[in-house]
């Protein structure tokens, strides 16, 4: 029996509507999840302009409402986090241990501008009489999400705070994983974080958890720098929009670090003109990390690579959902991973426009949509 699921649907032209999507019974390898909370990330704003209708949202946590007949080890009532990696575990990259860039299922790598086999059957979600895709194979800004089994990670913890748990799904995983799984940041080292939004603050938190000795946060918004200190920044630099390639910031960073530069720099602004900026922040043989996923053409002065510098571009913090998500929940329980502090405001789905406006205005570390 299908159900009506109140949902945010991006129309593809830069706008969205709150409407009802008809959701079918799960197929054999699918689950229906009653969403309790869904975090917002800048990508959700981007999804408004993807040129087609889409059930919005790619961060979320909830409770299993229905299970497909082949599902083992998960049952109705289980608490789950959703992940958009949905690894097939069979392809070359999954076998290599790179589940986040699964050649069959990744909505980024395998998807182009369409859905992948990591998506639940397309006809299972219908809007205005036609099948509709779910953002990043999930579509969490909806009362119910029809997803593949591989899109969920069971969480045993009693009285789970669903708001906190929901943001692990993308922003936390991306930030933490870029530091721990990709850069493999060494204790005692120095790091610069460019942009202290939802992703950047998680990078800062992960640098602190990894024992970084100096964590320098950079942003043009003074409020973000105050937040950065709460999440572990040891130093902050207020940048100026007019500072081309953040060259002045790079000079300040070098002065703070013996004239040499940082061991690591993480780019989290998503501003194409700052694509080369992390290279300017690091010492010779340092590591620059592109966290925001800039995809535009940019011009790079190759001298910024001198000498022996490495620039990596990880997707989704190299997420291995069944390994990383339980680890992140344990770090949260221990008090090291600051998730409650990350959530500035909770909103109802009807207030999604306000939540997006607040995000774009830089008011929130992270906004979360909560469901009854």
Judged by the rule CB under 5 A, the positions of this chain that interact with Zn ion are 41, 43, 88, 91, 94, 102, 104, 170
When asked if residue 167 is in the footprint of ligand NAD (CB under 6 A), the reply is: no
The C-alpha atoms of residue 320 and residue 325 are separated, in whole angstroms, by: 8
Nearest residue to ligand NAD, by Cβ distance, number only: 197
If one asks whether residue 362 binds ligand NAD (CB under 6 A), the answer comes out as: yes
For residue 128, the minimal CB distance to ligand NAD (Å) is 28
- 200 makes contact with ligand NAD (CB under 6 A): yes
Residues in CB range of 212: below 8 A, 6 or more apart: 185, 187, 188, 189, 190, 191
Nearest distance from residue 315's CB to ligand NAD, in Å?
Answer: 5
Q: Classify each residue of 12-35 as buried b or exposed e, where b means 16 or more C-beta atoms within 10 Å of its C-beta.
A: eeeebeebbbbbbebbeebbbbbb
Start-to-end CA span in the chain (Å)? 22
Q: Which is nearer to Zn ion, 88 or 185 (CB)?
A: 88
Question: Cα–Cα distance between 78 and 153 in angstroms, integer?
Answer: 10
Cα distances (Å, whole numbers) of residue 141 to 3, 4, 187, 212: 16, 14, 38, 35
Output the smallest distance, CB 28 to ligand NAD, in A.
Answer: 30
Q: Min. distance of Cβ 3 from ligand NAD in angstroms?
A: 30
Strand duo 214-219 + 235-238: pairing: parallel
| Residue 224 in the binding site for ligand NAD (CB under 6 A) | yes
- Compute the least distance from the CB of residue 278 to ligand NAD, in Å: 11
Residue 22 binds which entry of Zn ion, ligand NAD, none, CB below 5-8 Å type-dependent: none
When asked if residue 102 is in the footprint of ligand NAD (CB under 6 A), the reply is no
Please enumerate in sequence order all residues whose Cβ is within 8 A of that of 211, keeping only pairs 6 or more positions apart, or say none: 187, 188
Choosing from 241, 242, 299, 372, the residue that interacts with ligand NAD (CB under 6 A) is 241
Looking at the Cβ atoms of 144 and 311, the one nearer to ligand NAD is 311
Q: Any bridge partners for residue 144, and if so which? A: 34
Q: Which stretch binds ligand NAD (CB under 6 A): 11-19, 111-119, 129-137, 285-293?
A: 285-293
Site mask for ligand NAD (CB under 6 A), range 299-328, x = bound: ----------------xx------------
Q: Which listed residue (22, 161, 221, 252) binds ligand NAD by CB under 6 A?
A: 221
Q: Cα–Cα distance between 207 and 213 in angstroms, integer? A: 9
Does position 117 interact with ligand NAD (CB under 6 A)? The reply is no
Least Å distance between CB 236 and ligand NAD? 11
Q: How far is the CB of 319 from ligand NAD (least distance, A)?
A: 8
Count of C-beta atoms within a 10 Å radius of residue 272:
13
Cα separation, 236 vs 226, whole angstroms:
9
- Tell me the C-alpha distance between 111 and 182, whole Å: 23
Residues 26-45 interacting with ligand NAD (rule: CB under 6 A): 41-43
What, of Zn ion, ligand NAD, none, does residue 88 touch, CB below 5 to 8 Å by kind? Zn ion
Residue 278 interacts with which of Zn ion, ligand NAD, none, CB < 5 to 8 Å by class: none
Rounded to 5°, angle at Cα 239 from 234 and 243: 140
CB burial of residue 112 (10 Å; 0-12, 13-18, 19+): exposed
Binding site for ligand NAD (CB under 6 A): 41-43, 170-171, 174, 194-200, 218-221, 224, 239, 241, 268-271, 291-293, 315-316, 362
């Amino acid at each position: 029996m299908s159900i009506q699921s109140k949902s945010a649907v991006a129309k593809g032209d830069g706008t969205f509507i709150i409407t009802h999507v008809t959701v079918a019974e799960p197929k054999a390898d699918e689950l229906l999840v009653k969403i309790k909370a869904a975090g917002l990330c800048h990508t959700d704003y981007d999804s408004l302009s993807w040129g087609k209708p889409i059930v919005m949202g790619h961060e979320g946590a909830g409770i299993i409402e229905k299970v497909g007949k082949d599902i083992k080890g998960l049952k109705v009532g289980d608490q789950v986090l959703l992940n958009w990696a949905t690894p097939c575990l069979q392809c070359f990259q999954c076998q290599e241990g790179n589940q986040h860039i699964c050649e069959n299922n990744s909505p980024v790598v395998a998807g182009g501008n369409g859905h992948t086999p990591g998506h639940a059957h397309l006809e299972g979600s219908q809007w205005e009489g036609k099948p509709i895709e779910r953002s990043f194979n999930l579509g969490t800004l909806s009362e119910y999400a029809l997803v593949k089994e591989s899109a969920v990670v069971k969480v045993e913890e009693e009285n789970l705070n669903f708001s906190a748990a929901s943001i692990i799904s993308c922003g936390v995983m991306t930030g933490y994983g870029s530091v721990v799984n990709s850069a493999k940041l060494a204790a005692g080292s120095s790091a610069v974080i460019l942009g202290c939004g939802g992703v950047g603050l998680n990078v800062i938190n992960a640098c602190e958890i990894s024992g970084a000795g100096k964590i320098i946060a950079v942003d043009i918004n003074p409020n973000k720098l105050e937040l950065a200190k709460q999440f572990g920044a040891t130093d902050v630099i207020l940048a100026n929009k007019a500072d081309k390639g953040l060259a002045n910031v790079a000079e300040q960073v070098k002065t703070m670090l013996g004239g040499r530069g940082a061991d690591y720099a993480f780019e989290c602004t998503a501003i194409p003109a700052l694509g080369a900026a992390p290279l300017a922040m690091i010492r010779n043989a340092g590591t620059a990390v592109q966290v925001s996923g800039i995809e535009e053409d940019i011009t790079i002065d190759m001298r910024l690579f001198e000498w022996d510098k490495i620039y990596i571009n990880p997707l989704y913090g190299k997420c291995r959902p069944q390994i990383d998500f339980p680890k992140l929940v344990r770090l949260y329980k221990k008090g090291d991973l600051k998730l409650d502090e990350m959530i500035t405001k909770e909103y109802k789905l009807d207030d999604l426009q306000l939540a997006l406006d607040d995000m774009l205005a830089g008011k929130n570390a992270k906004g979360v949509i909560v469901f009854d």
